[in-house]
Structure 1
Amino acid sequence: MGRFDTIREFNLLSWMREERQSRKLILVIVFIALLLDNMLLTVVVPIIPSYLYTVDDAAANMAKNHTVGSPHSPSATFQTIVSLYDNSVRVTSGGPMDSTHMPPGQTQATSPSTSGVTPHNSTQPDCPKADDQLLNENVKVGLLFASKATVQLITNPFIGPLTNRIGYQIPMFAGFCIMFLSTIMFAFSSSYTLLFLARSLQGVGSSCSSVAGMGMLASVYTDDEERGNAIGIALGGLAMGVLVGPPFGSVMYEFVGKTAPFLILAVLAVLDGALQLFILQPSKVEPESQKGSSLWSLMKDPYILIAAGSICFANMAIAMLEPALPIWMMQTMCPRKWQLGVAFVPASISYLIGTNIFGVLAHKMGRWLCSLIGMVLVGVSILCVPFAKNIYGLILPNFGVGFAIGMVDSSMMPIMGYLVDLRHVSVYGTVYAIADVAFCMGFALGPSTGGAIARSIGFPWLMTIIGIVDILFAPLCYFLRSPPGREEKMAILMDSNCSMKTRSYSTQGNTECEEMETEYDE
């Protein structure tokens, strides 16, 4: 038996050595990394607004009723000060804030902490009063959500050039480690400050994972059509994370508690890290063989800026929707906690459909046209959101928003790599850092400004503004129809694509190459 075990072990090791260079396994790793990143990104969407409102409401009531209780009791005073200082989760753990510290006349059942102590067994809808405290949550929640994207925005310009020097494997694994730490912090943080730090830390991990992941895919999938298909599949991981995150978070929060969903994500992150260790060997440094174009030269390219702008404004729509929609629903629809997350399911499902369909179709119909239609559809769909009277009325507009953003992302992510091939040096870390910066700007400006706008002029006007911006930006995608390139780069790119197509499709590939040569001569 020992001989057969040795043979099986040898075969397994041989298979792993061969598969380490497999493009499909690299695609799987990037898919999982984006899945976990975006599950953590969206699992907080239904949890944080309700959780912060609960602890803030409890703290406000404790402060108001404190003088009625025992103002001269040192222990009670200390507990109240600590609770107000760190927004403690005592309201959810049933710790020091029990019946012995309740203000007179207030029992455990009627305490403002009831929604924190027994939110999981509640059978009644959550109907917070639409007062200034609830409206102020727009700003707090918006800033918290925006912190991740803001930190990621700052980190990306450093990660892109770093991957050009040391390769993609080490940044990918560093992203996993930071993501795991952020997830643990989310699980056990009870104050707004610690939640803010956890969200900000996630931005660093996301920057490492997304920039290195997209750059890795662009480097191993050199054919433009194959690259588009691969990036479309990888974005499916992003879509799956966005799809599963909100309903998973809301259901777990209501029936199990705040900590449980983050602990589950932490376990999944450990599994992803183990897979990266076996497949990518992150200790092995493989720098790019040629020096890529500088960040500044890529930032000056108008075609890259148009593609980045499309990514930014399309994703800004959902970024504004995420913190503001749950609060607007709490004001107007009196929903259950789990409904706050389920409201985003249509957008997540349609994003998954859109990225998978247009990852392939966009190359055939023209990525510029796909993005133009997607931008218009985002604008129209987002304008329809405020007309919903209940959760069922949100299904169609949210479906349209997700589907349209899928069209834009699956078109613009591949075209960023194509523009570098066409107009610059074919090293992809920096250009995908720019793409991630655009994505992050949408998710940084969206929640931070959206929360303030929703508080000052209302949620419907917020949706109107971003909808009109998307529609007005859409015509700029026409300039990506046939971007000019340097002649020597176009010849190299054409030869590369022709050789790939000839090997893959034989007669059909030769026909397409002849058409490309005719267009190039013209």
Structure 2
Amino acid sequence: MGALDSLREFSFLTWIRERRESRKLILLIVFIALLLDNMLLTVVVPIIPSYLFTMDDEGVSSTPTSPPFSSSSSSLQSIVSLYDNFTYETRGLLSTPLPLAPSTASASALAAANATTNPDCHQGDKQLLNENVKVGLLFASKATVQLITNPFIGPLTNRIGYQIPMFAGFCIMFLSTIMFAFSKSYSLLFLARSLQGVGSSCSSVAGMGMLASVYTDDEERGNAIGIALGGLAMGVLVGPPFGSVMYEFVGKTAPFLILAILAVLDGALQLFILQPSKVEPESQTGTPLLTLMRDPYILIAAGSICFANMAIAMLEPALPIWMMETMCPRKWQLGVAFIPASVSYLIGTHIFGVMAHKMGRWLCSLIGMLLVGVSILCVPFAKDIYGLILPNFGVGFAIGMVDSSMMPIMGYLVDLRHVSVYGSVYAIADVAFCMGFALGPSAGGAIARSIGFPALMTIIGVIDILYAPLCYFLRSPPAREEKMAILSDSNCSMKTRSYSMQGTSYQMGDDFETESDE
């Protein structure tokens, strides 16, 4: 029995070791981490604008106001008639009709009628327009903190490996999710969103770097990163409708508690597979972060990621408010409006994770940038939620094209022009992603309030179209001289080993030729 138990224990340990060395399980862990992180990122999109507006509205309603009727006989009360566009000034029980400007009375009557018949309609509500800035800053806080954190996480992974930062990302995300569930003030929600930025930095940089290190072939790496980005797409897909439906029918706390439970399961999987207590530094010193940031080809790829994702980043806070102002939607419709973009992003990353390598990643990104610009320009023409389906589908599909081609090309550029250590370059990629999601909501909210939502969409659409031609420079980036020397040395050594295996070395061949000449 003892020998049998030892054999079982040995087979179990062997199975665990094999699982830990499995690239597919590592891909699964990264997939789940990106899924949960982006579910938390987007689940707040339909919740926060409506929740903050409700809080502010309750605050205004709870402030003391003057009584509707004054005891003084000289006090006047204005009553708007919804039928004859007159304002009646009453003194006690006597009423005298006074004509009012028809346009003002009509607008007031329409707003009052809408508010009475449909509590979800906020047409003409100036308080709603002021929410653009607050919501934009709240959404941008996560990306801003992530932007600041990334330059530290990239070099850190070179020193201690990817496992510990990955697990730290899970712990921080769990804490942020719990804070979202129970926070009832703007400042606490802002803190929770900012804290999520630190966790996202750890998960994204460590996860992408881990995939690039275990999938060394360029085509396989592109496929793996495309699958991992599918997790990101799934999170973006599920988050808004999940959040809006749960918020409408269950409450604000429920969706965050469910995400917290899922995060615990992900943490248990990481403990089992990755063993995050071990420090496993890279075997070679990576290229310094500043050197990578001075590489023009890396900067072009990062710019594509930034401006493409800035389009959806501007949509997230501004579109629900614009819909509330112009379409009178139900709360659940605020999240459902993002489903076409999420579905198409999932389709785009799945298709072009494989196709981008065959058609040329530079061309895939160029077409994607053009399509983002055209689609985003069409969004303001929508008159109802159904009119948003096609433009949002185009936006998501195009961003999927850009991300699935530019993420693998970052690793390829490091292999081609620098030392093949990937933490820092994917920190740059994540910085680009975060710049889009930091500048987009913060600047977008202010622009939408000052010059309107259609003008905001026009600005970002034109920027994407003008940036697209720069992707042509990524068609055939040159290798650096020192990298070429390393590659040539490695090729020579491989040839030498090949000849040695056949029983003949270069030196023996030279000696043979010399003897023959003699």
CA distance in 2, matches of 1:227, 1:431: 15
The corresponding residue for 1:321 is 315
CA distance in 1, matches of 2:128, 2:348: 35
Is 1:150 matched with 2:144?
yes
Is 1:464 matched with 2:458?
yes
The corresponding residue for 1:56 is 56
Is 1:16 matched with 2:16?
yes
Deviations 1:419-475 (A, max 9, x none): 011111111000000000000000000000000000000000000000000000000
Shift of 1:15: 1.0
Letter in structure 2 aligned against 1:379: G
The corresponding residue for 1:111 is none
Shift of 1:131: 2.1
Letter in structure 1 aligned against 2:41: L
The corresponding residue for 2:109 is none
The corresponding residue for 1:265 is 259
Question: Per the alignment, do residues 17 and 316 of structure 1 end up closer, same or farther by CA in structure 2, a change over 3 Å counting?
Answer: same
The corresponding residue for 1:282 is 276
1:316-395 → structure 2 map (5 Å cutoff): 316-395=310-389
1:197 to 185, 191, 195: 191
Deviations 1:43-80 (A, max 9, x none): 00000000000010010111144989xxxxxxxxxxxx
Is 1:412 matched with 2:406?
yes
The corresponding residue for 1:42 is 42
Q: Is the 8 A contact 2:310 2:436 kept in 1?
A: yes
Is 1:396 matched with 2:390?
yes
Q: Is the 8 A contact 1:422 1:493 kept in 2?
A: no
Aligned pair count reads 446
Q: Is the 8 A contact 1:124 1:336 kept in 2?
A: no
CA distance in 1, matches of 2:465, 2:441: 20
Question: Unmatched 5+ residue regions in structure 1?
Answer: 69-114, 116-122, 500-522
CA distance in 1, matches of 2:119, 2:62: 24
Taking every aligned residue pair, what percent have the same amino acid on both sides?
87
Shift of 1:21: 1.1
Shift of 1:125: 6.0
Letter in structure 1 aligned against 2:55: V
CA distance in 1, matches of 2:350, 2:196: 26
Question: Per the alignment, do residues 3 and 186 of structure 1 end up closer, same or farther by CA in structure 2, a change over 3 Å counting?
Answer: farther
Letter in structure 2 aligned against 1:300: R
Letter in structure 1 aligned against 2:249: F
CA distance in 1, matches of 2:208, 2:251: 35
Letter in structure 2 aligned against 1:41: L
Question: Unmatched 5+ residue regions in structure 2?
Answer: 69-114, 496-518
Question: Per the alignment, do residues 135 and 4 of structure 1 end up closer, same or farther by CA in structure 2, a change over 3 Å counting?
Answer: farther
Deviations 1:470-493 (A, max 9, x none): 000000000000001125635866
SS at match of 1:287: coil
Letter in structure 1 aligned against 2:37: D
Question: Per the alignment, do residues 7 and 341 of structure 1 end up closer, same or farther by CA in structure 2, a change over 3 Å counting?
Answer: farther
Question: Per the alignment, do residues 54 and 207 of structure 1 end up closer, same or farther by CA in structure 2, a change over 3 Å counting?
Answer: same
CA distance in 2, matches of 1:156, 1:375: 25
CA distance in 1, matches of 2:288, 2:394: 37
SS at match of 2:63: helix
Is 1:477 matched with 2:477?
no
Deviations 1:395-429 (A, max 9, x none): 00000000000000000000000001111111100
Letter in structure 1 aligned against 2:40: L
Is 1:292 matched with 2:290?
no
CA distance in 1, matches of 2:457, 2:395: 12
Deviations 1:266-323 (A, max 9, x none): 0000000000000000011110111111111111100000000000000000000000
Give the aligned CA root-mean-square deviation in angstroms.
2.2
Shift of 1:177: 0.3
1:130 to 120, 124, 127: 124
Q: Is the 8 A contact 2:125 2:325 kept in 1?
A: no
SS at match of 1:383: helix
1:197-276 → structure 2 map (5 Å cutoff): 197-276=191-270
Letter in structure 1 aligned against 2:446: A
CA distance in 2, matches of 1:296, 1:40: 31
The corresponding residue for 2:111 is none
Shift of 1:12: 3.4
Letter in structure 2 aligned against 1:32: I
SS at match of 1:290: coil
> TM-score, length-normalised on structure 2?
0.83
Shift of 1:16: 1.3
Q: Is the 8 A contact 1:34 1:235 kept in 2?
A: yes
Q: Is the 8 A contact 2:31 2:228 kept in 1?
A: yes
CA distance in 2, matches of 1:487, 1:203: 38
Residue range with higher mean Cα deviation, 1-10 or 450-459: 1-10
The corresponding residue for 1:169 is 163
CA distance in 2, matches of 1:275, 1:5: 26
Q: Which protein has the larger Cα radius of gyration, Structure 1 or Structure 2?
A: 2
The corresponding residue for 1:180 is 174
Letter in structure 2 aligned against 1:179: M
The corresponding residue for 1:446 is 440
The corresponding residue for 1:25 is 25
SS at match of 1:359: helix
Q: Which runs of 4+ in 1 moved over 3 A?
A: 1-13, 64-68, 487-496
Letter in structure 2 aligned against 1:403: F
Q: Is the 8 A contact 2:123 2:326 kept in 1?
A: no
Shift of 1:342: 0.3
Q: Is the 8 A contact 2:32 2:266 kept in 1?
A: yes
CA distance in 2, matches of 1:491, 1:418: 17
Letter in structure 1 aligned against 2:38: N
Deviations 1:84-129 (A, max 9, x none): xxxxxxxxxxxxxxxxxxxxxxxxxxxxxxx9xxxxxxx9661124
CA distance in 1, matches of 2:5, 2:391: 57
The corresponding residue for 1:508 is none
Shift of 1:132: 1.9
Letter in structure 1 aligned against 2:462: I
